[in-house]
Structure 1
Amino acid sequence: MTRYAHAERGALCDTLLEVGPDVPTLCGSWTSAELLAHLIVREGRPDLAAGIFAAPLAGRTESAMTRLLAEHDFVDLVERLRQGPPKLHPARVPLVDEQMNLVEMFIHHEDVLRAQLGAPRRTISSEMTSALGDRLNIMARMLFRSAKGVDLALVTAKRRTKVGSGNGPVVEIHGRPGEILLFGFGRQAVAEVELIGPPDAVETVRTGSYEV
């Protein structure tokens, strides 16, 4: 099988080396180095990464990231990320890696790329687009679960995925799978999508709070 998550990991690492440790990202106030630390802690120390999802534990996660950056060179950390998950990690299995890391690596790669003002959009291969489309289809209901009172139709060139109860006004989100994923991960400001539907419902979707 083609390992799209592995390829995207490598592409992200190449971009990190190109831009360096101090550029902004779309992850709040994080620099590229802090985003890198997040990815390494997430993968290598899931016990310390719990603060990503549980606010009371955020201090532990931030401390782990700060310590990692203080003790290691940026280039060395990039190469650690490039090497993939630690031994015995479930994502060492390619199929699990696709499920766990393809979207993670894609979103954070775009977080670095799109935070650089004036940077051109990269070209995503049709194969990669298809792989992202498969993940979008699986993740759609989780990503857009907070869109209350509105039904969604996620429309790509190959698929139409419905989200919602079927009782509300319908808003269609048109775009490439990667763009709809960015929208669903809270990057509405940079996601290249088109929203079609009743104006009030469109505004609800456009300004919604979406995140895993």
Structure 2
Amino acid sequence: MSTTGERPVDALEREALCDLLAEVGPDVPTLCEGWTALDLAAHLVLREHFSRWGERRMAGEKAKGLPALIERLRAGAPALPWRVPGLRTLLNGTEFLIHHEDVRRANGLAPRTGRPDLDALAWRTARLTGWQAARKIRPHGLELRVPGGPARRFGAGGAVLTGQPVELLLYLSGRRGIAQVDLAGDPGAVAALRDS
């Protein structure tokens, strides 16, 4: 689940996102409202190196420029907690996967296919975020389904969200406008999920 070849999925996604940021440049949009690629890169650096930050620190990181931020991201995260096996995959792998798609999708790039490591990570994380979403729509239930694959139910009846694991994760992490999913089921549960 965590590796392609010998490299952990979070390391692969870190590298791929850095490559994409270098390719698209600092000024392209992302799916993070109001953020450019430069904003996103600064966020990723700050997230790994500082427990708290405000606008001033964000501006300071952005002033260093995208190439410097990419270089810092490529250098890797501090040892704790970011390099602890298991945690690194779940925390950084998920973060880089979602933000990689934030840049890709905002700039017209198609969903990636043929990456079982990303699908496994996304399904693991979607099960956790699905549980959180289901709590918000109680008394309705929520079911996550992968076509021809696994399903996970939280409560009885309710909304049924169907899609590939990465698409489910994107929907559950607030990227609803671009997530390629089908939402069906009880109308009240569907409305509650859309509004949550």
Q: Confirm or deny a common fold (TM above 0.5).
A: yes
24, 41, 44: which one aligns with 1:39: 44
Q: One-letter code of the match for 2:118?
A: M
Aligned partner of 1:104 in structure 2 is 95
183, 187, 190: which one aligns with 1:199: 187
> Shift of residue 63 of structure 1?
1.9
Confirm or deny: 8 A CA contact 2:94 2:121 kept in the other structure: no
Aligned partner of 2:123 in structure 1 is 133
Aligned partner of 2:178 in structure 1 is 190
> Shift of residue 142 of structure 1?
2.4
Q: One-letter code of the match for 1:153?
A: E
Aligned partner of 2:20 in structure 1 is 15
**Cα root mean square deviation, aligned:** 1.8
Alignment pair present for 1:172 and 2:177: no
With normalisation by structure 1, the TM-score equals 0.82
- Give the % identical residues: 38
Aligned partner of 1:54 in structure 2 is none
Confirm or deny: 8 A CA contact 2:38 2:65 kept in the other structure: no
Give the Cα separation in 2 of the matches to 1:120 and 1:132.
17
Give the Cα separation in 1 of the matches to 2:21 and 2:114.
18
Q: Unpaired runs of 5+ in structure 1? A: 49-59
Deviations 1:109-151 (A, max 9, x none): 11111111x3333224123212321222234212443223321
Q: Secondary structure at the match of 2:82?
A: helix
User: How many aligned residue pairs are there?
Assistant: 190
> Shift of residue 46 of structure 1?
1.2
Aligned partner of 2:62 in structure 1 is 69
Alignment pair present for 1:83 and 2:75: yes
With normalisation by structure 2, the TM-score equals 0.88
Alignment pair present for 1:208 and 2:195: yes
> Shift of residue 107 of structure 1?
0.7
Confirm or deny: 8 A CA contact 2:45 2:73 kept in the other structure: yes
Deviations 1:26-84 (A, max 9, x none): 11101110011111111100132xxxxxxxxxxx2x221111111x1311211211222
Give the Cα separation in 2 of the matches to 1:127 and 1:185.
19
Give the Cα separation in 2 of the matches to 1:193 and 1:153.
13
Give the Cα separation in 2 of the matches to 1:130 and 1:92.
19
Give the Cα separation in 2 of the matches to 1:27 and 1:19.
16
Give the Cα separation in 1 of the matches to 2:11 and 2:68.
18
Give the Cα separation in 2 of the matches to 1:67 and 1:143.
35
148, 154, 173: which one aligns with 2:138: 148
Q: Unpaired runs of 5+ in structure 2? A: none
Q: Secondary structure at the match of 1:92?
A: coil
